[in-house]
Amino acid sequence: MSVVADCSLLLAAYDKGATQHERAVAWLTRTDEELVLTPLAVAELEVAVRDGGGARAQAKVWHDLEVGAYTTRWWADALAESLRIARAHPALGLTNASLVALAERLRTTRIATFNPDFRTVKTTSGDELVLLPDDA
């Protein structure tokens, strides 16, 4: 089964000084599920890690991507679907909206995140999102 991964959780895992670092690492260590991101989220993650931790931290993200720690998915209508969701939920922003679109595409409600903004969104079928690790 797949879990959509948001940058807030992954950034906390990479940043040893982050308030949620230990929680993020513990959850990532326990899960054996495929973590899936959009290219928008990968770009956001890579830049944020580089800006916060420098070239060595950036290289760790690149390594994790190369070895398959995360899967990236994008599809023909991804941008249109992401924009539709972003317009309906402007506080999410386009990157997070792309993750909601990805969750719908994967037919999951599960998003690994520390971002409470995802609580304001429901799937097109009306289901609330399950935010991990909080809702586990």
Binding site as annotated, residues for Mg(2+): 6
Specify binding-site residues: 6
Tell me: cis bond preceding 133? Omega within 30 of 0 counts: yes
Q: How far is CA 21 from CA 28, 74, 75, 131, in A?
A: 11, 28, 32, 17
**Rounded-to-integer distance, Cα 2 and Cα 115, Å:** 19
